[in-house]
Amino acid sequence: MRALHTLRTLLIGAALPFAAEAQTIAITGGTVFPVSGPRIERGTVVITNGTITAVGANVAIPDGAQRIDATGKWVTPGLINAATNLGLSEAGSPQFSGGYNDVGATRTKGISAAFDAWEGINPASTYIIPTRQDGITSVMVGPGGGLIGGRAAMVDLAGATVASMLVRAPAAMTATFDPSAGSLQSRGELIGALRDLIADAKVYATRRAAYESNQTRTFAATKADLEALQPVVAGTMPLVVAVDRVSDIQAVLAMGRQYKLKLILLGAAEGWQVATELKAANVPVMVGAMSNIPTTFNTLNSRQENAGLLRAAGVQVILIGNGPGDGATFNVRNIRQEAGNAVAYGMNWDDALRAVTLAPAETFGVADKIGSLQAGRAANVVVWSADPFEISTRAEQVFIRGVLQGGKSRQDELAERYRRLPPPFGNP
Amino acid sequence: MHALLKSRRIMVALTAIATAATANTVSGQQTSPAPIWPAGLGAVSAPNADPFPSTYRPFPSRPTLIRNVRIFTGVGPAIANGSVLIENGRITAVGANVAAPAGAVVIDGAGKSVTAGVIDTHTHLGVYPAPGTAAHNDGNEATAPVTAHVWAEHSVWPQDPQFPRDLAGGVTTVQVLPGSANLIGGRSTVLKVVPSRTVQGMKFPGAKYGLKMACGENPKRVYASRGPSTRMANVAGYRNAWIAAEQYRRRWDKWLADKQGDPPARDLGNETLAEVLRGNILVHNHCYQADEMAQMIDIAKEFGYQIRSFHHGVEAYKLADVLAREGISGSLWADWGGFKMEALDGIRANIALVHAAGARAIVHSDDPSGSQRLNQEAAKALAAGRAIGLTISDEEAVRWFTANPAWALGIEDRVGTIEVGKNADIVLWSGNPLSVYTRAEKVWVDGAMLFDRLDPAARWRTDFELGYVAPAGGSR
């Protein structure tokens, strides 16, 4: 069963699942931030059947279009948080929802390459509505850890089924450059284990028939995992590596060069110290902007300027929710605050917007669908009361694939019930 | 003979107190109230005993006038283009027009804001320092459900690099608490966020101790195999502890009144609890759910103590009217929730709803990262309140991280507002403190500028950071 999944790559047409509900909408008068191009004062965004069909200052508005006056508002692509476990846990427990690790596999060697985390997404998770209420329209959903933790997918935050949410699945393989992730003791052992794994994946690809008739030596991973690693060792599927320390980053970059891997770094607390190397290697980096504590000996030089310094060196930077308060589920929405802090600590504002829209879309191969306001892209569009990164700003209208999102969250219902005390305990 | 010797030394000490009371200010700063019992009487359970007295002294300061700045005084409306004068560690003038004394440093605050120093009622700085290692894992004495005998200050590592980062976030005072593994976790301590070789050198002079109590899931999870393993056993555990403490208090108070015979045996845990019953230690109660908070209030009434603050209280909004009526503050997160069953009902309007009900709302962190941005946390809570139609001013939201936490720690007569006579714990913000783009630019503690973002080379670096963490200036 899992072997079947390993060969599957789902590329979902963005507009299709919602085409029946969609219509023609013209968002007019706002300051439009296409991200793929310069901002447009008093711009118009036209949405037709779930897809953006026109963006500009002088755009003909189709007859019968529903007009949304965004005068004085800011209009951006829906934001993307590219490091989440959204929909995989409820009440802090993966057991109450989809779960984010292949425990059976990771318990032994930390290798569960064939684990598809997104298959456990619960589209009814109570955390999805609050996330999109804050203008986040797409997220990457990935495994919770592991030396090779498994595969992550990009999903839109609308849809009644997992299949209808998918934008690209799988979009990346995930890994953790930490000996403890593989129940190992040392860096050398870790690098050796990864080399063995990559070598075995390559040998396996040439000896599948022999493997099936037990004519090969024992490989470092299961058949399913070796199959899952094929696009990674072929350099076609990104490998997201969680790594922080400078020397570890350099070790990962060296492996990337040696095996021609398509690397993405995650965390990269000390990345700013090797920004030019990262730029030279053309490796995108996923970082938070609210981290400055040497929480471990791997993150001694963690600092809030990391994102800005990396970007200034020309690195493709993706901002992720790395702050306190369960940034991977309950507070996936706080990616806005991360972006604001990135700007406060030196990142150019336009680059920060890019880092939560087009940069993750490009990095995970979905820029043809989401991440910018351009004709032909899925209509994931947010109308903001003001600057989307400012705390007082509200996402007033959130469109996903052209459909205006609404609905009360569980948190909304609780707030309404207890707005007056004692509470009525009827339906609010 | 032993008792006689003690009596004689007590008499000596009592006369010493009179002189200490007058000598009790240093550089215009109050220091600890003199202990009722002097040093060397470790076998006596003395109210307000202070065996680890603060040695904190304000750092050198210069008279400083911050002018042309927006002042969030913490009492009433902000002053748009005001001035704050700092002299000898105190605030000596606040208003629209304040003349700079000769020789004063004058700082132009155009476009900037001033608030009182940020106060975080809930940290584990120093007891869970960075980097996190087993060797420094000193925050939870998770060996018995009631550990009233332990004091958080004895676990504080002053070289925790989280301290200077907190200061850079405008935080000038923190409460350091034991963790929440236990029903009664031990004494907290209130610290100035200042460099020091010793924890004594950080202790806020004269601040009362706190007592950490914890409701709900944590104690029953930690002690599942030996008990308490249920909420009902949690409650039985608190009550048994207070029953013993009340007996202890009566025995000691009787002896302290009449000095007849040998003093009773001293017990560190009951001594702390007895001090709570005497009103000398403030209760800080980790409690998520409204139903459990109501039970804790009843327990407090049963044994005659006050709860000063419920901490975390993700359901405080469900009981906000009761908190207001009982005079209990809520030390709360802006937007944490959902990470366990007892946190399931967290909502972002929690702080705003508690505030609107008339209770003292406080934005706290329980997190060394969140602690650095309590202004942003308050802004999130404010935005959530306004989103559901509550009318709350920026000035009121600033009180959530200044004046209200000062009250919760019992130091509101000294810090928490910008008023003449208060200690000069002051933050100059680069803009409106409720904006995500604003950073603490300069921070004064008792009039001494201990953080200046514009002068990275002067940045406080802990011993740990030397050789491990690149300095902020120059090479960085």
Could you please report the per-residue DSSP string of A324-392? Answer: TTTTTTTTGGGHHHHHHHHHHTT--HHHHHHHTTHHHHHHTT-TTTSSS--TTSB--EEEESS-TTSTT
Query: Radius of gyration over alpha carbons of chain A, in Å?
Result: 22
Q: Which amino acid is at B106?
A: V
**Burial status of residue A57 (CB atoms within 10 A of its CB: 0-12, 13-18, 19 or more):** exposed
CB within 8 Å: B435 and A297: no
Nearest alpha carbon to residue B397 among B113, B15, B192: B113
CB within 8 Å: A325 and B333: yes
What CA–CA distance (Å, rounded) separates A118 from A8? 13
Structure tokens at B314: 């993700």
Name the β-bridge partners of A175.
A148, A241
pLDDT of residue B144: 98
**Chain B residues with beta carbon closer than 8 angstroms to that of A331:** 335-336
- Percent of chain A exceeding pLDDT 70 equals 92
Chain A residues 306-345 with a CB less than 8 Å from chain B: 323-326, 329-331, 334, 337, 340-341, 343-344
What CA–CA distance (Å, rounded) separates B343 from B359? 21
- pLDDT (tens digit per residue) in B191-217: 999 999 999 999 999 999 999 999 999
CB within 8 Å: A392 and B379: yes
pLDDT of residue A424: 85
Is the model's pTM score more than 0.90? yes
Q: What does the pLDDT average to over B407-429?
A: 98
Q: Which positions ≥6 away from B271 have C-beta within 8 Å? A: B45, B149, B248, B252
pLDDT of residue A101: 75
DSSP strand pairing (A166-176 vs A10-11): antiparallel
pLDDT confidence bin for A295, thresholds 50/70/90: very high
pLDDT confidence bin for B5, thresholds 50/70/90: very low
- pLDDT (tens digit per residue) in B44-100: 888 999 999 999 999 999 999 999 999 999 999 999 999 999 999 999 999 999 999
Chain A residues 383-412 with a CB less than 8 Å from chain B: 389-392, 394, 411
Using the CB atoms, write b or e for B409-440: b if 16+ within 10 Å.
bbbbebbbbbeeebbbbbbbbbbbbbbbbbbb
Q: What residue ranges define each of the domains in chain A, with the CATH number in brackets?
A: 2-11+79-365 (3.20.20.140)
Nearest alpha carbon to residue A239 among A223, A250, A252: A252
- pLDDT (tens digit per residue) in A149-191: 999 999 999 999 999 999 999 999 999 999 988 889 999 999 9
What is residue B436's three-state secondary structure? Answer: coil
pLDDT at residue B389 is higher than 90: yes
Q: How many CB pairs under 8 A join A and B?
A: 133
CB within 8 Å: A330 and B468: no
**Burial status of residue B141 (CB atoms within 10 A of its CB: 0-12, 13-18, 19 or more):** middle
pLDDT confidence bin for B20, thresholds 50/70/90: very low
CB within 8 Å: B339 and A92: yes
What CA–CA distance (Å, rounded) separates A55 from A377? 11
pLDDT confidence bin for A93, thresholds 50/70/90: confident
- pLDDT (tens digit per residue) in A2-43: 333 333 333 333 334 444 455 899 999 999 999 999 999 999
**Chain A residues with beta carbon closer than 8 angstroms to that of B317:** 414-415, 418
**Chain A residues with beta carbon closer than 8 angstroms to that of B321:** 421-422
Structure tokens at A363: 């990095």
Chain A residues 258-277 with a CB less than 8 Å from chain B: 273
Residue bearing the bigger pLDDT, A424 or B94? B94
**Boundaries of every domain in chain B:** 118-416
Residue bearing the bigger pLDDT, B103 or B9? B103
pLDDT of residue B195: 98
Q: What does the pLDDT average to over B445-456?
A: 97
Contact of A300 with chain B, judged by CB distance below 8 Å, is answered with yes
DSSP H or E segment with residue B86:
strand B79-87
**Chain A residues with beta carbon closer than 8 angstroms to that of B335:** 325, 330-331, 334
pLDDT of residue B2: 34
- pLDDT (tens digit per residue) in A105-136: 655 688 999 999 999 999 999 999 999 999 99
CB within 8 Å: A294 and B439: no
Nearest alpha carbon to residue B186 among B300, B243, B297, B269: B269
pLDDT at residue B35 is higher than 80: no
* Order of strands across the sheet that contains B361-363: B118-123, B171-176, B184-192, B209-214, B281-287, B307-312, B329-332, B361-363
What CA–CA distance (Å, rounded) separates B266 from B248? 9
CB within 8 Å: A292 and B165: yes
Residue appearing with tokens 């059947």: A49
Q: Which positions ≥6 away from A116 have C-beta within 8 Å? A: A5, A150, A151, A153, A169, A170
Nearest alpha carbon to residue B151 among B232, B111, B209: B209
Output the DSSP codes for A174-192: EEE--GGGGT---HHHHHH
Task: Give the ipTM of the model, two decimals please.
Answer: 0.93
**Burial status of residue B265 (CB atoms within 10 A of its CB: 0-12, 13-18, 19 or more):** exposed
What CA–CA distance (Å, rounded) separates A27 from A46? 6
What CA–CA distance (Å, rounded) separates A192 from A366? 33
- pLDDT (tens digit per residue) in A34-47: 999 999 999 999 99
CB B163 within 8 A of CB B173: no
**Chain A residues with beta carbon closer than 8 angstroms to that of B372:** 292
CB within 8 Å: B341 and A422: no
pLDDT at residue B31 is higher than 60: no
**Burial status of residue A288 (CB atoms within 10 A of its CB: 0-12, 13-18, 19 or more):** buried
pLDDT of residue A378: 98
pLDDT at residue A250 is higher than 50: yes
Structure tokens at B132: 């996190």
CB A284 within 8 A of CB A316: yes
Structure tokens at A312: 């200034």
- pLDDT (tens digit per residue) in B331-378: 999 999 999 999 999 999 999 999 999 999 999 999 999 999 999 999
Cis peptide before B228 (omega within 30 of 0): yes
Cα–Cα–Cα angle for A346, A382, A82, rounded to 5 degrees: 55
Which superfamily is assigned to B118-416 in CATH? Metal-dependent hydrolases (3.20.20.140)
DSSP H or E segment with residue B68:
strand B64-71
Query: Where does B259-304 have alpha helices with state H?
Result: 268-277, 290-303
pLDDT at residue B438 is higher than 50: yes
